[in-house]
Structure 1
Amino acid sequence: MSNTDSNGGPATEAPTRRGYMRYSGAVIGGGLLAGCTGSGSSEGSAGTAAGNGTNGTATASENTTRGGENSYSVRMAPMGNVAFDAVPKSVFTRLTHLAGMAFALGRGNDVNAMHSPDYYDALWNQFTPRLNGVSLDWSGLYSSWEPSKEKLYELNSDIHLADPAGVFALDGWNRKDVEEIRDNVAPWFGNYYSDRHAEPPAEWADAYQYYGLWEMFEKVAQVFRENARYKALADIHRGLLDTIEANRPPADERPTAVMALPTDFDEIYVYKVNNPGFLTAHTRPLGATEAFGDGTSSGDTVDMEGLLEADPDVMLGLGGMHPETDIKQVREKLNENPVGKQLTAVKNDRVYAQGARYQGPILNLFQLEMTAKQLYPEQFGEWPTYTSGPYPEIPTDGQLFDRQHVADIINGDI
C-alpha cells in the first residue's frame, strides 16, 4: 500500500496537542507506543498475546500523565493507558468495526472518516430500517484506508479510533509520524490485528494482545463513558449466544460452510467460518463445519473447480446484501455454470447474502441471527429468500433479539 501524503502535515515542532486529551502509555525504546496487561475472551475464546510478550504484558515501563479532576484513562493494547480530559466528540476511524462501535454508542454521525465510506454507508443502511428511530449518514466522508498525516491535522479529530500499529505498517508512515499525530492531534485507540490474529509489526509485538469484538467494544465504550449502553447491548448479545448454543444441532449434524460470494468464477475469495479473530464473530459461535481443510487459508482464492472440490453445503455471500450486489444474478449464474450447478449449496438453494466481516456490535447481532437461520433453519426458523433491499422483516416470534430494545439503547433510552 502507498500513502498519498505522509509528510504533508506540520513539522514535529508544531504546538503541543490541545489539552483536551493526554496520552499515557508504555514506551518501547525511543517512545514507541506499547503496553497492555490482562486477559479476555474472543467471543468465547481466551484472548491471546502476540509476539514475545507474556500473556499480553508489555515489558516496558509506563509514563504517567497528570490530568484534570475529570480525567480518566482506558487501557488497551497496543496503546497502553490512554488518558482523556473529556469525552471525545469528533471521531476518526479507519475500519468499520470501530465505526460500528461509535454507531452502537449513538455516535455514528460523529465519525468523520472511514474506509470506503459510501460503500459502508449503503451497507449499514440495509440494517438501520429495522431499528426504529435510528439513522446513519457516512456518505461523503474522508476515505481513510491510507490516511495522510496532512489530512489528520485537517480533520483535527478528538480521537483516532484506529490501531497505531496498523497505521505504522502503511507505506510512508514511521514511528515518529505515529507519535506526532498522537501528541499534536489526538490519541490512537484501536486494535486491527485482532481481526484474524495476524502478526503485528515486529516493533509492536511485545505490546500486542488480541481481543474479541465485544471485548474491544467494552473498551471503546469506556472511552466514551458509555458503560451503561455497552452493558445493555452486551446483555442482548449474551442472550443471543445462549440461544444459539442451546439450540444448535450436534457437531456431527452441522453443514459444511464457507464465506464466499462467487462473482468472478476464476478468482473466488474463500474465508473460513471458524477462524480466530473478530472477522468470524458472526459465524464462529454457530460452529458449522469448515468446507475447506487445512490446505487452504482464509482469504485464499480458488476457481470453480476448487470450490466444487470443497463442495460446501452452505455458501455465505459476504457483501451480498449491498445494494450494488445483485445476489439474484449471482445465484442464476451459478446455476448456469457447468461446474457451479454441481455445487451442493447451489442445488439446494443455500447460497445466502450476508453483510460484512468488519462488523460492529449492531451488525454482529443481525448477522448472528441471520447466520443461525441460514445454517440451521429447523432450529432457528427459515431465512427468507433475499434478493434486494434492507434486512428482511422477520415476524416477532421468529426474531432472536429485540430490535426495539437495541434501537432504544442506541438512542440513549437504556
Structure 2
Amino acid sequence: MSDDADGPPETPTRRSYLKAGGSVLAAGLLAGCTGETGENSVNGSDPATTSSEPTAESTTAESSTDTDAGTEDGSYAVSMSPMGEVAFEEPPETIFTRLTHHAGMAFALGRGDSITAMHAPEYYDGLWNQFVKRLPGVSLDWTGLYSSWEPSKEKLYELDSDVHLADPAWITKQDDWNVDEIEEIAATVSPWFGNSLSDRHAEPAPAYADGYEYYTLWEQFELVAEAFRERERYDALATVHEELLATIEDGLPVESERPSAVMLASADLNEIYAYTLSNPGFLTAHTRPLGARDAFEGSVESNSVVDFETLLEADPDVILFLGGFEPGTSLPRRREAFRSDPVASEITAVQTGRMYPQGARYQGPILNLFQLEMTAKQLYPDAFGEWPTYEEGPYPEIPAEERLFDRQRVADAINGNV
C-alpha cells in the first residue's frame, strides 16, 4: 500500500449505501473476475489499452437488468455483475472511476465534473475534449484528478467518493488488493458498481469466476444510469445510438464489397500494436457494427506486435491509427513515416492514402457515437459521406447534412434538457 494518505477511519463514513444490502454485495463480490493486463503507457493508444459489442447489441451472458423500483424512504437497488445487487439511499454525487468507459458514462449523465479519480486524467482530458468541442454548450475538465491506475485503499478513504464506478474484479489484480479489502471499502466508504472484463470478454480470476457476466457498452450504461436515477438521459442517448446503428446497417454494402482493415497503435514505429476490429467486447463497439474484413484473416491476434513486413503481407485497404486525435500528435508525420519506408509504402492503404485517425477504445457512450460516425465515413465514404482530411485539432466540423447523428440532441441529454 502507498502511504500517501491517512489510514482508514476508526468508524464507517456516512455513505449512500444501505447496510441491508451489504450481505448481498459481499456474496456478489465473491462471484466476479479479473483478467487485466498491465499496460499503462500513453504510446499513441489508450493508456489502458489491451484489446464491443455485437452489431445486434447482444451479450454472451444474460444481463442483470432487474432494478428495484424503490421504497417509501427513497432507497433503491440495481444489479450488475460482479457485484450483484447494490443498494443506494440516493443517487451518488461524487464518483471514483478507474477506466474511461466508466468516466464516460458519468459524463454522459451530466456528471463529468463529479468524478474524483480516473486513469491518466491529463491525457484523457485532452483527448476527450477533441470531441466535446463539437457538442454545443457542453464542457469537460478532468485535469488535476487523482490518477487511479493503481489506487491505494488509503486514497479511496481520502477521496470518500459516493460510489466506486469500477470493477472490483479488476481492482483485485493489483498487488495491494484482496477481496477482504474490496468488501471493507464497500462497507465503510461506498459500494463498487462497475464492470470492466466486458472490454474483451477476458476470463475471470477464480475469486470472481462464478457467474461473471459480460455487457455491451450500452447495456452497462443503462445499469449505471439506473444507479444514478437518470433514465431520461439514458433513453435520450440510447435513442440516438439506436438510430445511428440503424443508419449504419441500412447503408452497409454486401460483405464482398467491404474493405479489409486493421487498427494500429505506436508512438515511434519501433513497436507497432495491431488490433482487429471485430473481437468480442466493448473495445470494438465502434468498429464491429461496421463489419470490415479482418486484414489478417485470423492469422494475427488483436493486441499483437507486428512489423511492416507483416502488415504488407496482410495488405489492408484501410489503416486506422489509434490515438490519432491525441493533442500534439501529428497524423501527417505518421502517414509520412509509412510512405517513406520501402516496405510500408507498398501497403494498399498507404498507397491510396486511406490512413485515418481514431480516438480511444475505452470509450463511453458519447465518444462511441462520434467514433461510429467517424469510422463509418472512413470505411464507407460512398455510403456515409467522405471523412474530411484530418491532420490535427478537434474532431472535424462536418456539415449538418452529412452528420450521422444530431449533436444538439446529445448535448441536450448531457445537460439534462430531455
CA distance in 2, matches of 1:201, 1:25: 22
Say whether the 8 Å CA contact 1:265–1:304 is kept in structure 2: no
CA distance in 2, matches of 1:102, 1:20: 17
**Aligned runs of 1:4-83 on 2, under 5 Å?**
4=2, 9-10=7-8, 14-22=10-18, 24=21, 33-34=29-30, 43-49=55-61, 69-83=73-87
Say whether the 8 Å CA contact 1:22–1:67 is kept in structure 2: no
Match of 2:116 among 86, 104, 112: 112
Q: Deviations over 1:355-397 (max 9, x none)?
A: 0000000000000000000000000000001001100010111
Q: Deviations over 1:117-167 (max 9, x none)?
A: 000000010011110100000011100011011110000000000001100
User: TM-score, normalised to structure 1's length?
Assistant: 0.90
Q: What secondary structure does 1:233 align onto?
A: helix
Say whether the 8 Å CA contact 2:197–2:214 is kept in structure 1: yes
Give, in angstroms, the shift of residue 22 of structure 1: 2.3
Match of 1:344 among 345, 348, 351: 348
Q: What secondary structure does 2:85 align onto?
A: strand
**Aligned runs of 1:90-169 on 2, under 5 Å?**
90-169=94-173
Counterpart for residue 61 of structure 1: none
Q: Which amino acid is 2:7 matched to? A: G
**Aligned runs of 1:206-245 on 2, under 5 Å?**
206-245=210-249
Q: Which amino acid is 1:279 matched to? A: L
Structure 1 residues 278 and 101 mapped into 2: Cα distance closer, same or farther (>3 Å)? Answer: same
CA distance in 2, matches of 1:247, 1:34: 45
Say whether the 8 Å CA contact 2:164–2:192 is kept in structure 1: yes
User: TM-score, normalised to structure 2's length?
Assistant: 0.89
Say whether the 8 Å CA contact 1:261–1:315 is kept in structure 2: no
Give, in angstroms, the shift of residue 104 of structure 1: 0.5
User: What's the Cα RMSD here?
Assistant: 2.2
CA distance in 1, matches of 2:314, 2:147: 36
Q: Which amino acid is 1:299 matched to? A: N
Matched, 1:200 2:204: yes
CA distance in 1, matches of 2:12, 2:401: 56
CA distance in 1, matches of 2:202, 2:4: 25
Counterpart for residue 250 of structure 1: 254
Q: What secondary structure does 2:133 align onto?
A: helix
CA distance in 1, matches of 2:261, 2:395: 21
CA distance in 1, matches of 2:13, 2:78: 19
Say whether the 8 Å CA contact 1:114–1:143 is kept in structure 2: yes
Segments of structure 1 that go 5 or more residues without pairing to the other structure are: 50-54, 58-63
CA distance in 1, matches of 2:415, 2:236: 12
Q: Which amino acid is 2:110 matched to? A: G
Structure 1 residues 31 and 9 mapped into 2: Cα distance closer, same or farther (>3 Å)? Answer: farther
CA distance in 2, matches of 1:269, 1:333: 16
Say whether the 8 Å CA contact 2:28–2:82 is kept in structure 1: no
Give, in angstroms, the shift of residue 317 of structure 1: 0.9
Q: What secondary structure does 1:316 align onto?
A: strand
Say whether the 8 Å CA contact 2:30–2:179 is kept in structure 1: no
Give, in angstroms, the shift of residue 16 of structure 1: 2.8
Say whether the 8 Å CA contact 1:321–1:355 is kept in structure 2: yes
Structure 1 residues 240 and 402 mapped into 2: Cα distance closer, same or farther (>3 Å)? Answer: same
Say whether the 8 Å CA contact 2:31–2:209 is kept in structure 1: no
State the identity as a percent: 58
CA distance in 2, matches of 1:265, 1:212: 32
